Amino acid sequence: MADKGTTKPIKLRISRYRPERSGEPFDQEFTIPYRDDMVVLDALNYIKDHIDPTLTYRWSCRMGICGSCGANVDGTPKLTCALYLRDLKKRPVHIEPLANFAVLKDLVVDIEPFMEKLETVKPYIIRRDERPIERGEYRQTPEELELYRQQSLCINCMLCYSACPVYGYDEKFLGPAASALALRYELDTRDQGSEERLAAIATTHGIWQCTLVGECSVVCPKDVDPAGAIQQLKARAATRLMKAMLLPLAPR
Amino acid sequence: MDRLAYDIVIVGGGAAGLRAAIAAAETSRSLRIAVVSKVYPMRSHTVSAEGGTAAVLRDYDSFDSHGFDTVKGSDFLADQDAVEFFVRRAPPEVVQMEHWGCPWSREPDGRVAVRAFGGMTVKRTVFAADKVGFHMLHTLFQTSLKYETIERLDEWFVTQIFVEAGKVVGVAALELRSGALHAVTAKAVVIATGGAGRVYEFTTNGAIKTGDGMALALRAGAPLKDMEFLQFHPTCLPGTGILITEAARGEGGYLINNKGERFLKKYVPEKMELGPRDILSRSILQEIREGRGFQGPYGQYVALDLRHLGEDVINKKLPMVRELSREYAGVDPVHEPIPVRPGQHYIMGGVHTDIKGSTGMAGLFAAGEAACVSINGANRLGSNSLSECLVFGAEAGRSAAAYAISQPAVGSNPATGLVKAEETRIFDGLLKREGGESLSEVRQEMQHTMEENVGIYRSGEALEKALAHIRDLRRRWDRVGVRDKDPFFNTELTTTLELDFMLDVAEAITNAALLRRESRGAHSRTDYPKRDDANYLHHSMAYRTPTGLRFEKLPVKITKWQPAARVY
Amino acid sequence: MATETVRKPYVRHRSAWWWTKNPRYVLFQFREMSSVFVVLYAFLVLWQLWALRGGEDAYYAFLLMWYSRPMMALNAVVLAFAVLHSVTWFALTAKVPLFRIRGRPPPAAFVIGANLAIWIGLSLLIVKLLYGGF
């Protein structure tokens, strides 16, 4: 990338965690040349390439679609590839690993708990009867597609888990992204697995743990609105329960 | 180091890898399948694909039409038996994806919708807004969770494929979380690691596209085919290289020079903005060289004008294009044209395979961008790549399954014996190196020389220079020091290993380009500007030998369509 | 160095003042706290009913205490929390769309506005019924 002409250099304070050096994370400051079209990821790459190759962080697509590069920047969970340094007011810029996750090394966190939660919500089409491939696609109108389109946009970046104080308090909580994914399949007209899916998530540590703080939807870079998704799931789960109690013989 | 054993190991967790895993799991429930990926599967670069997936779904379409478009697009280098197989298998794959929940965009009557795309004579590109790769990858990944026999080794970096007596016996993989090198025994290995865009300076590709699988195959003894053919996508954002999908042109966008003209009239008068990518990229470069480009802080560019499409169409059909333009180019395509220029995007070449996904080496298979069947020949048509991942991912998965079933049960784990040498290479050799060379410098020099000399236009002189430089960089890589001594989640170590792979791939690309003294498809030689069917209607096959690369020829399979002049 | 045990990831301790970091967290904490005051007011009303049982003189003594300055201050605080409680509750009604207009959920402002209007309207009606006027 061409050098656009630098202005004042910029200072960053980055949280490091090197298990072989000490048992605790520590901060390290770096000063780097600044271009006004640098994103935080560019700064991290500059440091790794030119100053400290031991700096460890995740990234890949650099265009906000792979979900790898989440970090807490000045206290807020962000995608480092989509956050311009020019939009940050504090100096030094403070970069920490995503909150509410255990730290493996430097800015890399352990996302295994999240991967397990993804599996819990049965995130695939469940059908009682499968249409043979030769008979073509299930028909789904653009309006039906629109019903679940928003929830299908989740890139699994986990910024929402970092923002959620309930998850910070209870790591067994299903959490925003996994719940949004559950709703995505709930609302997909092709899916027939509502019974099993709701049963799996309408539990104490499932959707009912949410107290609607709403910060997840504020930080979501893709406007998935997981907070709304969880409330919709609660309504559906509650409705199901009522129906089961009042009309026990009705089909589900 | 412990004893891990599977029937099938799939290296890479993108569209092709996951499709192969599912196909193998559906072939037999007794097969133990591992998807080994250096990143969590949702991060695979499939996720960034935007435009669509091509398949014959409509009555106005035909297999011959899709097949001919593909063969002509390939400048007649594609193997036509493979193409004929491919176009017939693509439609059921698209329907299968739909059954698995892929949110394809729809017609008002509920059928899966299709859009126009470059080089396709009719509308046959299935799409999901402009996030097709994202939706396909998440659908495949989430569907793969259904199968108990598919295990995943996430953030495991494969460093070597083990071969014993000409047969694949497993892989060595670095587990990032623990820093341990594991021997993973397998009867069959499927390479699905994607392309190698990061050998170039300006690419649409993400950080992980470092050609790992291609280098792994080469080192294991399998040949790389057609490595000289790189696709440069016409419309990338200057500076970052972020892709602006062909779908923007498919929906009616115009390419404009600094005189306000739709300059493609001079180069592809019939197809205009929907011409094939190699011709479009050359045309844009031509315009820029002749002074009709715009000047920007990151070099020259032309304009992609979407304003006449209107806000509604852009929001519905091209929402991500709008997002990306605003975020990374500071431009709202509803009101202003998007600055674009050609950039490396895809590699047509790769690990040689047949129609069944087999490399010819017992137990070794490949699929997706990492492989070269070849259906793309000298130039790929947009939206054929994702269909290729599905069709040949599934084929490779089934072939690997059939092979694994035919093999006797493995007694002792052969890979565990072979891993000791690899451990020494990595932990005693690499990790302990103090070196004198800087990893980032060697890498940047490689990327720069590839960009300058092995780009859209090549000449014998430039290629010779580049080849010598790359060989020198290979020697300098031996002296790259690794400062991070802790093997635990060591991304300095993995990027050093990636550079090792990239240098192999860069050498294969450059050497193959030097040997092909003609221009065909995306390979343009200024010193040999014409296509030469008499001497060069063949694939190039690169083999590794102790003294360097050895090249062989492989004839192109022609069934229906005789090579003809390629005009649009 | 071939084998390594898997390192234990480092779990960070969360400060008890986490909720001061951001205005929405602060609002959330006060919203949750408002329930305490709503329940407190319920006990105050029960206390008032209990005082009625004691007869006219006891009740008169109670009313003297009830209209004292400190009690009025407490009531003001409780009212503030009760309003916060209700307003934030109604603000969440838009999160679960009950119907769709032309494929989209109704605009949040409309849903919340309608709910607030009904709440205020009903409250005014009750005041009118209880006190015969304002």
Q: Which of A68, A115, A134 sits opposite B39 (nearest CB)?
A: A68
Map out the domains of chain B with their CATH numbers: 3-230+346-414 (3.50.50.60), 235-342 (3.90.700.10), 417-550 (1.20.58.100)
Instruction: Mark whether A20 and A137 lie in a shared domain.
Output: no
Q: Determine, for residues C18 and A165 on separate chains, whether the beta-carbon distance falls below 8 Å.
A: yes
Ordered by start, the domain boundaries in chain C are 22-90
Instruction: Mark whether A100 and A164 lie in a shared domain.
Output: no
Residue A228 contacts C where some CB pair is shorter than 8 Å: yes
Instruction: Mark whether A149 and A162 lie in a shared domain.
Output: yes
Q: Are strands B150-154 and B33-37 parallel, antiparallel or unpaired?
A: parallel
Instruction: Mark whether A75 and A168 lie in a shared domain.
Output: no
Q: Which of B1, B177, B488 sits opposite C3 (nearest CB)?
A: B1
| Chain A from 200 to 239: CB within 8 A of any B CB | none
CA gap C119, C127 in Å, rounded: 12
Q: Determine, for residues B181 and C1 on separate chains, whether the beta-carbon distance falls below 8 Å.
A: no
Give chain C positions within 8 Å (CB) of A213: 24-25, 28
Lowest mean pLDDT across A5-19, A89-103, B345-359, B516-530: A5-19
Q: Which residue has the tokens 């049960």?
A: B409
Residue B475 contacts A where some CB pair is shorter than 8 Å: no
Residue A193 contacts C where some CB pair is shorter than 8 Å: no
Q: Kindly state whether residue A1 falls inside one of the protein's structural domains.
A: no
Q: Kindly state whether residue A251 falls inside one of the protein's structural domains.
A: no
CA gap C92, A212 in Å, rounded: 9
Look up the CATH number of the domain holding residue A149: 1.10.1060.10
Candidates A59, A152, A157, A224: best to mutate against B (most CBs of B within 10 A) is: A152
Instruction: Give me the number of domains chain A comprises.
Output: 2
Q: How close is the nearest chain A Cα to the Cα of B113, in Å?
A: 10
Task: Give the residue numbers of B marked as catalytic.
Answer: 233, 249
Q: Which of B39, B45, B95 sits opposite A137 (nearest CB)?
A: B95
Please name the residue of chain C whose CA is at the shortest distance from the CA of residue B177.
C6
The set of residues, in sequence order, having a beta carbon less than 8 Å from that of A97 and lying 6+ positions away, is: A15, A17, A71, A72, A103, A106, A107, A108, A109
Q: Which of C7, C19, C95 sits opposite A165 (nearest CB)?
A: C19
Instruction: Tell me which DSSP letter residue A121 carries.
Output: T
Domain limit, last residue, from A76, A109, A142: A109
Give chain C positions within 8 Å (CB) of A25: 10, 12
Residue C53's pLDDT is: 87
Residue C117's pLDDT is: 94
Instruction: Mark whether A199 and A213 lie in a shared domain.
Output: yes
Residue C3's pLDDT is: 42
Cβ–Cβ under 8 Å, residues A67 and B42:
yes
Instruction: Tell me which DSSP letter residue A5 carries.
Output: -
Domain span at residue A128? 112-246
Q: Determine, for residues C12 and A211 on separate chains, whether the beta-carbon distance falls below 8 Å.
A: no
Residue B447's pLDDT is: 98
CB contacts < 8 Å between A and C, how many? 58
Q: pLDDT confidence of B434, banded at 50, 70, 90?
A: confident
CA gap A220, B104 in Å, rounded: 23
Q: Which residue has the tokens 């070849």?
A: B374
Residue A70's pLDDT is: 98
DSSP C11-40: PPPPPTTGGGGSHHHHHHHHHHHHHHHHHH
Instruction: Mark whether A170 and A85 lie in a shared domain.
Output: no
Cβ–Cβ under 8 Å, residues B283 and B267:
yes
Q: pLDDT confidence of B80, banded at 50, 70, 90?
A: very high
Instruction: Mark whether A149 and A58 lie in a shared domain.
Output: no
Instruction: Mark whether A84 and A205 lie in a shared domain.
Output: no
Listed as ranges, residues in chain C with pLDDT below 70 are: 1-6, 133-134
Instruction: Tell me which DSSP letter residue C91 carries.
Output: H
Candidates C3, C10, C104: best to mutate against B (most CBs of B within 10 A) is: C3
CA gap B502, B212 in Å, rounded: 7
Q: Determine, for residues C3 and B488 on separate chains, whether the beta-carbon distance falls below 8 Å.
A: no
Residue A197's pLDDT is: 96
Instruction: Mark whether A224 and A124 lie in a shared domain.
Output: yes
Interface residues from chain C to B (CB-CB < 8 Å): 1-7
Q: Are strands B538-545 and B224-225 parallel, antiparallel or unpaired?
A: antiparallel
Percent of chain B whose pLDDT exceeds 70? 99
CA gap B101, B22 in Å, rounded: 15
Q: Determine, for residues B47 and A61 on separate chains, whether the beta-carbon distance falls below 8 Å.
A: yes
Candidates C96, C98, C99, C102: best to mutate against A (most CBs of A within 10 A) is: C96
Instruction: Mark whether A20 and A102 lie in a shared domain.
Output: yes
| Chain B from 32 to 51: CB within 8 A of any A CB | 39-40, 42-45, 47-48
CA gap C122, A44 in Å, rounded: 57
Kindly give the residue spans of alpha helices, DSSP state H, lying in chain A.
40-46, 112-120, 142-149, 159-163, 165-169, 176-186, 194-201, 215-219, 226-246
Average pLDDT estimate for B229-247: 96
Is the link from the previous residue into B374 a cis peptide, with omega within 30 of 0?
yes
Q: Determine, for residues A138 and B99 on separate chains, whether the beta-carbon distance falls below 8 Å.
A: yes
Residue B1's pLDDT is: 42
Q: Is the entire prediction scored with pTM above 0.90?
A: yes
Domain limit, last residue, from A85, A109, A133: A109
Q: Determine, for residues A143 and C10 on separate chains, whether the beta-carbon distance falls below 8 Å.
A: no
Q: pLDDT confidence of B3, banded at 50, 70, 90?
A: low
Please name the residue of chain B whose CA is at the shortest distance from the CA of residue A192.
B101
The set of residues, in sequence order, having a beta carbon less than 8 Å from that of A46 and lying 6+ positions away, is: A32, A33
Q: Kindly state whether residue A90 falls inside one of the protein's structural domains.
A: yes
Q: Determine, for residues B98 and A125 on separate chains, whether the beta-carbon distance falls below 8 Å.
A: no
DSSP B304-333: EE-GGGHHHHHHHH-HHHHHHHHHHHS--T
Res B225 pLDDT > 60: yes
Q: Determine, for residues B177 and C5 on separate chains, whether the beta-carbon distance falls below 8 Å.
A: no
Residue B260 contacts A where some CB pair is shorter than 8 Å: no
Reading chain A (252 residues) residue by residue, the pLDDT tens digits are 444 555 789 999 999 999 877 789 999 999 999 999 999 999 999 999 999 999 999 999 999 999 999 999 999 999 999 999 999 999 999 999 999 999 999 999 999 999 999 999 999 999 999 999 999 999 999 999 999 999 999 999 999 999 999 999 999 999 999 999 999 999 999 999 999 999 999 999 999 999 999 999 999 999 999 999 999 999 999 999 999 899 887 765
Instruction: Mark whether A92 and A148 lie in a shared domain.
Output: no
Give chain A positions within 8 Å (CB) of B45: 60-61, 66
Q: How close is the nearest chain B Cα to the Cα of A200, in Å?
A: 15
Q: Which of B423, B431, B488 sits opposite C7 (nearest CB)?
A: B488
CA gap A64, B269 in Å, rounded: 36
Q: How close is the nearest chain A Cα to the Cα of B57, in Å?
A: 9
Q: pLDDT confidence of B483, banded at 50, 70, 90?
A: very high
Q: How close is the nearest chain C Cα to the Cα of A1, in Å?
A: 36
Please name the residue of chain C whose CA is at the shortest distance from the CA of residue A18.
C10
What's CA C53's distance to the chain center, in Å? 30
Q: Determine, for residues B47 and A66 on separate chains, whether the beta-carbon distance falls below 8 Å.
A: yes
Residue A251's pLDDT is: 66
Instruction: Tell me which DSSP letter residue B427 carries.
Output: I
Q: Determine, for residues A215 and C24 on separate chains, whether the beta-carbon distance falls below 8 Å.
A: yes
Cβ–Cβ under 8 Å, residues B18 and B141:
yes
CA gap B367, B357 in Å, rounded: 6
Domain C22-90: assigned CATH number? 1.20.1300.10
Instruction: Mark whether A220 and A158 lie in a shared domain.
Output: yes
Look up the CATH number of the domain holding residue A60: 3.10.20.30
Average pLDDT estimate for B258-278: 95
Lowest mean pLDDT across B170-184, B207-221, B415-429: B415-429
Domain limit, last residue, from A47, A80, A109: A109
Residue A103 contacts C where some CB pair is shorter than 8 Å: yes
